[in-house]
Amino acid sequence: MVSAHARVATARAGRYLAQLGEHGGHMSRRTFRRPRRHGDGGPAHVVHAERSDTDALIDFGWGRCTLRATDTELVLRAEATDPECLRRVQEGITARLELIGRRDHLTVTWHPEFPEAAEMAT
Mean of the pLDDT values across residues 3-24? 93
| pTM, to two decimals | 0.79
Would you state the pLDDT for residue 113?
87
3-class DSSP assignment, residue 62? coil
Cβ within 8 Å of residue 49, ≥6 positions away:
21, 24, 25, 27, 28, 56, 57, 58, 59
Average pLDDT, the chain: 83
DSSP 72: S
pLDDT band at residue 121, thresholds of 50, 70 and 90? low
Confidence of residue 87 (pLDDT cuts 50, 70, 90): very high
Q: How far apart are CA 96 and CA 57, in angstroms?
A: 15
27-33 mean pLDDT? 48
- Mean pLDDT, residues 25-35 taken together: 48
pLDDT at 21: 84
Position 28 pLDDT exceeds 70: no
* Per-residue pLDDT at 22: 85
